[in-house]
Structure 1
Amino acid sequence: MILADLLSIILRLAELAFAAIVAGLTGTYLHAAKGASAWSLGRFIYTEIVAGLSIIFAIIWLFPFSGSFIHWPADLFISVMWFVAFGLMVDWLNGACGYVFDWSSVGFDGTGSCGQWKADVAFAFLSAICWLVSAILGIYWVHRHTSRAPVATTSTYGRRRWYRRSRV
């Protein structure tokens, strides 16, 4: 199962990197909009919280040991949280920057904010996919290791009971 451990480490590193990128991009917007009401910034605060939780859990579960696979329910829950953050950001854009996954207008010059928002949305989606794949890998690992567990027998047939004397 070294392949599963290696894939788990790669996924955790990707989850960590994507969450850090989303936290940075969303944090930049929150810093620029510091005078706005918390109600209008709710979706970005939610995204920042999801990114922070993802960073914490990705760091904790990055260490390669078999116990990291049993966290698949948390991986699935974090994936759902990322999909919600993705949907909230896509809904906020509402077509203002064109189609969400149309990358033709994105450049590296840093002048357009549409590129920043599309990058934020894309990395939120990639993070959601990575957490979902981690959950699927965890389900696979747990299913594979629990189905091979030996079954204990309760029958004492053929064994001498401790309270009987030997016939010899």
Structure 2
Amino acid sequence: MAFAEIAGMILRAAELAFAAIVAGINGSYLHDMDRLNVDSWYLSRFIYTEVVAGISIFFALIWLIPFSGSFIHYPFDLLVSILWFAVFGLIVNYLNGTCGWVFNWTDINWTDVTVVGNNLCSHRKTVIAFSFLSAICWLASFIVGIIWVRNRTTRRYERRHWRGSRV
């Protein structure tokens, strides 16, 4: 089933790219907050986001290598998808309307490269968008894995033809 292999590789590449974007933006924010000596308890949701992005980068890189064993990890794909949905919810909850409606993308700009200024809302909304996209990709990878495993397993009633019956 070539569709599953191609779809799996495309999804893994997208998962890798989205996790790298989230890790880069979030890591930059954590670095700036570390220089300001912000308490780590305040930054816990961002540390969690960085850990989930790191886990996603690691496993997406490993499973990007095309071999059939990469499809049997579909339960882990569901787990990582749930982790990404949790990241999405944590960051949306963190904004709490301070940057306007979460899905209003008109205020995203990249003219100011500092994290501490007005660009903070742009960074948070970018993390929200790519964490949601990553969650969807991991969920789609889970579904592709289920389809691949289901098509590869032999069913008991399909093993013998009627000519080979023992009756």
TM-score (norm 2): 0.87
Displacement of 1:112 in angstroms is 2.1
Match of 2:50 in 1: 48
Structure 1 or 2: more helix by fraction: 2
Displacement of 1:151 in angstroms is 4.0
Unaligned residue ranges in structure 2 (runs of 5+): 113-117, 161-165
Counterpart Cα distance in 2 of 1:36 and 1:108? 24
- SS of the equivalent of 1:33 reads helix
Q: Does 1:17 align with 2:9?
A: no
What amino acid sits opposite 2:41 in the alignment? W
Match of 2:115 in 1: none
Match of 2:4 in 1: 4
TM-score (norm 1): 0.86
Match of 1:145 in 2: 152
- SS of the equivalent of 2:39 reads coil
What amino acid sits opposite 2:78 in the alignment? L
Give the alignment of 1:30-109 within 5 angstroms.
30-34=30-34, 35-109=37-111
Counterpart Cα distance in 1 of 2:151 and 2:101? 41
Match of 1:165 in 2: none
Match of 2:123 in 1: 116
Q: In the TM superposition, what whole-angstrom CA distance separates every residue of 1:31-73 from its partner, at most 9, and x where no partner exists?
A: 1111122211110110000000000000000011111111000
Displacement of 1:147 in angstroms is 4.0
Match of 1:130 in 2: 137
- How many equivalent pairs are there? 156
Q: Which moved more, 1:100-109 or 1:26-35?
A: 100-109
Counterpart Cα distance in 2 of 1:108 and 1:28? 14
Between the aligned residues of both structures, percent identity stands at 55
What amino acid sits opposite 1:80 in the alignment? I
What amino acid sits opposite 1:131 in the alignment? W
